[in-house]
A and B are shown apart, each in its own frame.
Chain A
Amino acid sequence: MNSTRLSAWIAVGGLLLAAAPAWAHHSFTAEFDRNKVVNIEGTIVKMEWVNPHAWIHVSVKNPDGTATVWMIEGNTPNGLLRRGFTKKSLEPGTEVMIKGYMAKSGDFKANGSSMTFKDGRKLFLGSSSGDEDPTAKDGK
């Protein structure tokens, strides 16, 4: 990834963003960088309804006219369905704004926490950024 381009989109926070360890099915902190918050505006390419986490592909236009497809990690498909998120919730071509945390790998991937449509409606995405497994913690 071109780090110069990246720096135009993402600010690196120097603050400690959370004190508690964050666990979901995976370690959030091992996969994503809490200090790199990304706000993405683009159009839906497709949604992968796959376990353990759904992935939303969003095409984002670059200043030079090219496009970059970001992959946004969402909740588990079962969890999304139970929250009212259906296959029709995100049709290809829909314009969205997504807030998330960028992957440590440097790939165009992020953990999504919220999604807003152009008309202001919000759609729950879920995020592992604050998760903590109390039973696992107790059992350690």
Chain B
Amino acid sequence: MTCRYLAYLAVLAALPLAAQTPAPATAKPKPAPAKYTPPKTPWGDPDLQGNWPGSVNIPLQRPASMGTRATLTEQEVAERDAASKKRVASGTWIEYYPASEQASLVVDPKDGRLPAMTPEADRRNKAVRGGLGPPTLSSVDDRADSWTDFDLWGRCITKGLVGSMLPGNLYNKGNRIVQSPGIVVIQNEMVHESRVVPLDGRPHPGKGVRMYMGDGRGKWRGNTLVVETTNFVKDIAMNGINFALLTEDLKITERFARIAPDKLSYDATIEDPGTWTRPWTMHVTYPLDPTYELYEYACHESNYGLADILKGARAEERKAAEGKK
């Protein structure tokens, strides 16, 4: 074995961020899609089963400069795609997803941006952690006093709903739908979630029952599966969407429809009157990918990073204290 320890000074170039260009040209109008009738399961429900990974690159919001323009030009798609390829090629561990012409996941409001928060929600969130606000992925840079300074994803608990459904978010974006008579199961690779949604019309449990992913109830409206989810835990943040703490009144209505043999249309309307001044809706079309393998992502047991970050913060405190002596 070689027994050398080498030391280097390294200079890393900051990754260039994708330029958000204003809209110079109009996108091509698309022909109206032909009406598609999805296959049926043996018991007669529309068949949505399969692996539908979020392998597409669409940002949550679009730049305000785009206004209500909902699609990118070919040049803008190429630029977004090139920026993504560059980041993957730089050696970081994100996966590559091709850019979509869809300008933003948010489709309502029409400007593709999240609506304003209510003044009360603003006050509520600013008061968290002594004024630092709710924990985010990077909030531990500001304070790492305890596990409460980590967001739920950093703690390997959940990305929540609809955070678990977001496409193109770093890695592990597998989604799988499995059906049986009266039940639909929606699996998310990140973070190892399986939502079991009954279709028999049973009511939600009482208000005392609260879950991180909420309680979903499904029904068919034609060929569209509509899932209404309530009973969320109070004061959770919606990872990847908004780190504001949400209220007990949060309600999410999702619509799943197979619009082609290999395309699943997904919409989610989010209502939380105590947080946002109006409901908002996101949309994405997932591609079918039978070759996509959903690997286990049981994340909590070996989440060494959490302890390492807390230990690192204590080490820096000691260093600072020694410097003052």
Residues of A within 8 A of B (CB): 8-11, 13-15, 17-21, 23-27, 29-31, 34, 37-43, 48, 50-53, 55, 59-63, 73-79, 81-82, 95, 103-107, 109, 113-114, 124, 126-136, 138-140
Contact = CB atoms under 8 A, between A and B. Distances in A.
B302 A136 contact: no
B114 interface: yes
Contacts of A81: 293, 295
11 contacts: A8-B5, A11-B9, A13-B9, A13-B11, A26-B309, A31-B308, A37-B10, A40-B5, A48-B302, A52-B156, A135-B105
Contacts of A135: 59-60, 105, 166, 168-169, 240-241
B92 A127 contact: yes
B312 A78 contact: no
Nearest to B244: A139
A27 B138 contact: yes
A47 B93 CA distance: 18
B25 interface: no
B285 to A, nearest CB: 17
Contacts of A77: 295
B180 interface: no
Contacts of B316: 104
B34 interface: no
Interface of B: 1-15, 17, 59-61, 87, 90-95, 105, 114, 136-141, 144, 153-154, 156, 166, 168-172, 189, 238-243, 293, 295-299, 301-306, 308-309, 311-316
B14 A19 contact: yes
B contact patch SS: loop
B231 to A, nearest CB: 23
Contacts of A25: 137, 153-154, 170, 299, 305
A77 B8 CA distance: 29
A27 B309 contact: yes
Name the 6 nearest CB pairs between A and B, nearest first: A126-B93, A104-B312, A50-B302, A61-B3, A9-B5, A105-B311
A15 to B, nearest CB: 6
Given A20-B14, A76-B172, A82-B95, A134 B59 contact: yes
A30 to B, nearest CB: 4
A133 B3 contact: no
Contacts of B11: 13, 15, 17
A124 B91 contact: yes
Given A30-B140, A105-B308, A131 B3 contact: no
Contacts of B312: 30-31, 103-105
A128 B93 CA distance: 6
B137 A136 contact: yes
A104 B298 CA distance: 26
A52 B308 contact: no
B299 A52 contact: yes
Nearest to B149: A30
